[in-house]
Amino acid sequence: MRYLLFIAGMGGLLYGIDVGIIAGALPYLEATASVAWHLSAQQLSFIVAAVLLGSVLSSLFAGALADLIGRRWAMVLAGALFTLSIPLIALADGYLPLLLGRLLQGISGGLIGVVVPLYLAECLHARQRGRGAALFQLLLTIGLVAAALIGLYQAQSVEAVSTAAQALAPEARADALFAARDHAWRSIFWVCLTPGLIFTVGSLLLAESPRWLARRGQLAQAHQALLRTRPAAEAQAELREIEQALAPETADSRHSGEPLLSRRYVLPFLLACLVLALTQATGINSILAYIVTILNQAGLSGASANMADVGLKVLNAVMTVVAVALVDRKGRKFLLMLGTGGIVLALLSAGLLFRSAEGHQRDVASVLQARVQGDSLSIQLDSATLQALGASASAATSSSNAATVSGTAAAAPAQQLTLAYSYGPFTNVQSLRSDDPALPILRLNRADTVQPDSVIGAFFRRLHLNPFADPADAAGAPLRIEQAHLSSLPSTSHGWQVALAMCLFVASFAVGPGVCVWLALSELMPNRIRSNGMSIALLINQFVSTSIAAVFLPTVGQYGYATLFFYGAGCSLLYFLTAALLLPETRGKTLEEIEAHFAGK
């Protein structure tokens, strides 16, 4: 039993690394890949969202695959894919291999998200099932903590290089910072190789799910699998119960022709799908992935934001331990209501804090449009540019000092320029900060913004569908500055207030949806449709998550962080009402008893 829970927990660890590793790597990836590979904000969002998109793709076939080859071999495959993704990402020399590596990582995560909770639900006794799923979530949060610690270590290494490089000439300083940042994000991914290997090898030594074996008529093997985690009497009794539950599918003529659209299947399936969709609609995956960037924008420095990130991930793990203790005592319904209520308060608070900061932006679109030369524009937030954009003299002086003396920028608020621009239908969002020691130059040009035509885009246009922009429409389009705002970065105290709101958000999610979502996924589904039903429900879950991650950076560039936080608060309120009014309590019930409840028995 301990070994089973350990390996299943390692699956949770990999899932947490899948979600959390990009948070620490993203600032350095953005600082280097945007320069070396000319990545747009949309492409960076795709890199973040690729893990979630991979989860969507694998969720399509995860249940069918688990039915075909068994739960154990599906877990082995998931671990192998994760292990293969690490060198592909860490050795990437362009956008495509990086995107493919992240996509492969996501496919692994999608398999883990379906197969491990399915395996736990089918192998554990009813009195241990809640704790087993909670342990999966606990190791998931530990994966997030590990990812955050790795990010913090690399952030401190980059800051040390930044301090040492102050004595160098400007070009040498920029080269040193570029090399340090490039090494940082690659090292963050390399460290993840070891847990992938452990999970892959460890899954080979697990027993197969007794319910999967029983469905294939291998009753003797199913009995042996039950004996590995139960006393003989309990194993025999549960095997009889499994055989009775399988009877309607095989021998009982009264139910053998029962349609899949009957109440006993439709109601729990729809409820599980709704719970999983609303779990991601809170924005949890995107907030965890972008948390360092969010706290940077809220007013915290790079090192402080990474430290806060570690604190949040540790809090997540601690509150998951609390959930482990409560889930089989207080029940799923109570924890979901408690958690979603806290999430609503946290996201409303964060949204109001950002709304107060974003309300003091200066519109400089017309000034930048006037500086466009031909079809391109180059911007550097030096003192001359800041003065031309209307910044105060102290802010301009602070910007020039930031490039030479570390810490001098504290004399006046650092400035941030956020602009959205377009060449015809191709748009992008970029930002610059005056406190960046390298004072990079932002270059807007057609070649880096207009993406080459693709086979997929051409195919859809031939069908008279146009989900992708046509490069021909941007060939002669001028550079247009859609929006441009200059603002002072919020104070450090404002950053810590946002961090506190994020603490409430993470703690509430850990106590409620973080644990209960896996139980809803595995407990609500009837035996006949469990594997495929879980795949569809997780597919919806990952589709919502991917959609939010893919539009995150462009949306905050256009409308600000407050908009996204208010959206998440509204979805969380709907989640609270769903838990209060629709969700039945499943604590202490066998999977067969839960199915009988929805059948009206």
Q: Give pLDDT tens digits for 404-455.
A: 444 444 456 778 787 778 888 777 777 777 777 767 787 888 777 776 655 4
With vertex at residue 348, the alpha carbon angle to CA 343 and CA 350, rounded to the nearest 5 degrees, is: 95
Scored b (16 or more CB within 10 A) or e, 79-118 reads bbbbbebbebbbebeebeebbbbbbbbbbbbbbbbbbbbb
The pLDDT value recorded for residue 341 is 93
Q: The tokens of 159 are what?
A: 């800051």
User: Please, are residues 185 and 151 in contact by the beta-carbon 8 Å criterion?
Assistant: no
- Mean predicted confidence (pLDDT) in 123-132: 68
> Is the pLDDT assigned to residue 347 strictly greater than 80?
yes
The pLDDT value recorded for residue 251 is 45
With vertex at residue 313, the alpha carbon angle to CA 81 and CA 57, rounded to the nearest 5 degrees, is: 30
> Is the pLDDT assigned to residue 544 strictly greater than 80?
yes
Query: Residue 190: what residue type?
Result: W
> Is the pLDDT assigned to residue 166 strictly greater than 90?
no
Query: Residue 184: what residue type?
Result: A
- The residue with tokens 């974003």 is 358
> Is the pLDDT assigned to residue 259 strictly greater than 90?
no
Greater confidence, 411 or 82?
82
- Phi/psi at 258 (5° precision): -65, 125
The pLDDT value recorded for residue 492 is 83
Q: Work out the end-to-end distance of the chain between its first and last CA atoms, rounded to an integer number of angstroms.
A: 32
> Is the pLDDT assigned to residue 569 strictly greater than 90?
yes
With vertex at residue 79, the alpha carbon angle to CA 284 and CA 272, rounded to the nearest 5 degrees, is: 40
Confidence of residue 219 (pLDDT cuts 50, 70, 90): confident
User: Please, are residues 381 and 413 in contact by the beta-carbon 8 Å criterion?
Assistant: no
- Phi/psi at 166 (5° precision): -60, -30
Greater confidence, 270 or 258?
270
Cβ count within 10 A of residue 405: 11
The pLDDT value recorded for residue 447 is 75
The pLDDT value recorded for residue 256 is 45
User: Please, are residues 22 and 146 in contact by the beta-carbon 8 Å criterion?
Assistant: no
> Is the pLDDT assigned to residue 462 strictly greater than 70?
no
This prediction has a pTM of 0.65
The pLDDT value recorded for residue 592 is 64
> Is the pLDDT assigned to residue 501 strictly greater than 60?
yes
- Mean predicted confidence (pLDDT) in 524-551: 74
Confidence of residue 131 (pLDDT cuts 50, 70, 90): low
Q: Which of 44, 562, 23, 557 is nearest to 285 (CA)?
A: 23
